[in-house]
Amino acid sequence: MDTKTTEKTAASKTDEVDEAAEGTSTETAGAAEAAADAGTTEAAADAGATAGAVAAADAGTTPDAAADLLDETDDEQDEDELDDEAASPEATGIGAGGAAVVSAALSAVALTGTWTGKVVAERETLIGQIKTSGGGTPAQQINEIYGDAWHSTALVNGVFALLALVVAVLVLTLPRRPAWVRAVAVAGAVLGGLGLLLSVGTYFDLFLSLPTTGS
C-alpha cells in the first residue's frame, strides 16, 4: 500500500513538473513573439524615418526652407500684381494722351479752316456761276456764288469742331488720366466749343450777313 502511495506522489510531481515546463515554454514563446513584434515596429519606424530623410534630401528643402519658398512665391505674385496695376494706368495714359492731342488738332483745324472746306467752297462757287451764267438778279448771284460757298465752309468747319469737342469730353471722362492729358483735353474742348460756336454763327449769318444790292 505504501508503494501505491509513493507511485501516486511521484506521478503528481511529474505532472507538476510537466505543467511548469509547459508554462515556461508558453511564456518564453510569448516573450519571443513580443520581442519580434517590437523589433518589427522599431524596424518600420526606422524605415519610415529613413524614407522621410531620403524624401527631404531629394526635395532639397527643410520646413524652414519651404516656408521661405512660400514667402518668396507670395512676394513674386504681389510684385506681378503691382506691375499689372502699374501697366494699366500707363496704357490708359497713352491712349488718353493721343485722343487729347487729336482733339486739340481738330479744334485748331476747325478754327483755321481745312483743305476740305476750301474745296467744298470752290465747288459751290462754280455751281453758282453755272446757275447764274444765263442771267440772274444780283441778289441771286450773291446768294449762289458767295453765300453757298460761305455756308459750306462754315458747315465743314463746324463738323471738325464738333468732333474735337466730343473727343475732348470723352478723354475727360476717362479714369486715371495724367495731368498733362487733362490739360490738353480741356484746351481741345475749349477750342472745339469756340470753333463750333463760330461755325454755327457763320452758317446762320448771325455774325455777318450776306451783302445786299441797293434798292
Determine the pLDDT at residue 92. 63
pLDDT tens per residue across all 215 residues of the chain:
444 444 444 445 445 545 544 544 444 444 444 434 444 444 444 444 444 433 343 444 455 555 565 566 666 666 655 555 444 555 567 889 999 999 999 999 999 999 999 999 999 999 999 988 877 788 888 888 899 999 999 999 999 999 999 999 999 998 888 899 999 999 999 999 999 999 999 999 998 888 887 64
**What's the predicted TM-score (pTM) here?**
0.57
Q: Say what the pLDDT of residue 54 is.
A: 36
DSSP string, the chain: -HHHHHHHHHHHHHHHHHHHHHHHHHHHHHHHHHHHHHHHHHHHHHHHHHHHHHHHHHHT--HHHHHHHHHHHHHHHHHHHHHHHHHHHHHHHHHHHHHHHHHHHHHHHHHH--HHHHHHHHHHHHHHHHHHTT---HHHHIIIIIIHHHHHHHHHHHHHHHHHHHHHHHHHHSSS--HHHHHHHHHHHHHHHHHHHHHHHHHTTSSSPPP----
